[in-house]
Amino acid sequence: MINYNERAKMMSIAKRSIDAKDKLKENEKIYVLLSLLKTLIKYKANQI
């Protein structure tokens, strides 16, 4: 089962890191975060 606290912590760190980069447009930031979330979910699902 996916640990939602761990996922939220990783997404928070990623969002802060991406927000620090001004070069990305808003839709690019969202795309990167969604891609990370998708990868994280697949990784956790494969661990089970």
Domain boundaries, the chain: 4-47
Ramachandran quadrant class, 3 (left: phi over 0; alpha: psi -120 to 50; beta: rest): beta
1-36 confidence digits (pLDDT tens): 567 787 788 788 888 887 777 777 888 888 888 888
Whole-number pLDDT of residue 47: 65
**Would you call 40 helix, strand, or coil by DSSP?**
helix
Amino acid identity, position 15: K
Confidence (pTM): 0.58
- d(CA 48, CA 38) in angstroms, rounded, equals 16
